[in-house]
Chain A
Amino acid sequence: ETGVTQSPTHLIKTRGQQVTLRCSSQSGHNTVSWYQQALGQGPQFIFQYYREEENGRGNFPPRFSGLQFPNYSSELNVNALELDDSALYLCASSLVGAPGEKLFFGSGTQLSVL
């Protein structure tokens, strides 16, 4: 059983650029959630994907978008990067409908916007 993997681990971008972060779900999971964790803060919910459709969104602007693929892997895209987008981005997968559904987190992608 493989865990949640994220790539890349670190990324440096310039303000105004676009970025794509990737996440491979844990085997057998059908839901992916993305979180943004700024320094010194707890993770903040961005959105969740279930069966390739967005299934809920936190308080993030439309320039944050995502995709979930048939193999349940996922991408987080951020357009028009701003300095405040610098953060650790966490991906978590789960199996909706399973008794005691449990989130499994990846190690994250550290994004720095200069």
Chain B
Amino acid sequence: AQRVTQPEKLLSVFKGAPVELKCNYSYSGSPELFWYVQYSRQRLQLLLRHISRESIKGFTADLNKGETSFHLKKPFAQEEDSAMYYCALSDPMNYGGSQGNLIFGKGTKLSVKP
């Protein structure tokens, strides 16, 4: 079954510490993987996607097809990184190339303490 698993509901770190938010997926095709973030009182928004291979706000994520993982990492956490993070996948081949059919994990709440 198609599934995205985020094993940690809450991750608490101190400012300046490294952060790794875990994401594993189960999918038989060739999905695209994303990380979405929701800051307090803001909308859900895209943080990064694996095909872009870019770093956003110091965050990076590498797709490991062998381990079916897409962990989100940042070497030095900042207080403003505190938010809800969702890992998601889509299979654009199933929807005419659209990214709109996302399968989300349950999310991990990151709390960065001063």
| A residues apposed to B, CB below 8 Å | 3-4, 31-33, 35, 40-45, 48, 50, 55-56, 58, 90, 92, 94, 96-97, 100-107
**Closest B residue to A45 using CB positions:** B101
Given contacts A33-B101, A103-B100, contact A90 B106 (CB under 8 A): no
B98 within 8 A of A: yes
> B52-85: which residues lie under 8 A (CB-CB) from chain A?
52
Q: Are A94 and B99 in contact (CB under 8 A)?
A: yes
* CB<8 Å pairs between A and B, sample of 6: A41-B107, A42-B4, A43-B44, A56-B95, A96-B96, A103-B100
Could you tell me the distance between the alpha carbons of A106 and B104 in the complex, rounded to whole angstroms?
16
Chain B, interface SS category? loop
Question: Is B13's CB within 8 Å of the partner chain A?
Answer: no
B17 within 8 A of A: no
Q: Does B45 contact A (CB under 8 A)?
A: yes
Given A90-B44, A100-B52, A105-B44: A42 touches B100 (CB 8 Å cut-off): no
Does the CB pair B44–A44 fall under 8 Å? Answer: no
**B interface residues with partner A (beta carbon < 8 Å):** 4, 43-46, 49, 52, 86, 88, 94-107
* A48 and B107 within 8 A (CB): no
With A40-B106, A42-B106, A44-B104 as known contacts, state yes or no: A107 contacts B97, CB within 8 Å. Answer: no
Asked if A55 and B106 sit within 8 Å, CB to CB, the answer is no
A92 to B38, CA, bound (A): 14
Q: Which residues of B contact A55 (CB under 8 A)?
A: 95-96, 98, 100
Complex formed: what's the CA distance from A104 to B100 in Å?
10
**Which 5 pairs show the lowest CB-CB distances between chains A and B?**
A42-B104, A33-B100, A105-B44, A48-B100, A56-B95
Q: Which residue of B lies closest to A56 (CB)?
A: B95
- Besides the known contacts A41-B107, A58-B101, A94-B100, 12 further A-B residue pairs in the complex with CB atoms under 8 A apart: A33-B101, A35-B102, A42-B104, A45-B102, A55-B96, A92-B100, A94-B99, A96-B96, A101-B97, A101-B98, A101-B99, A102-B99
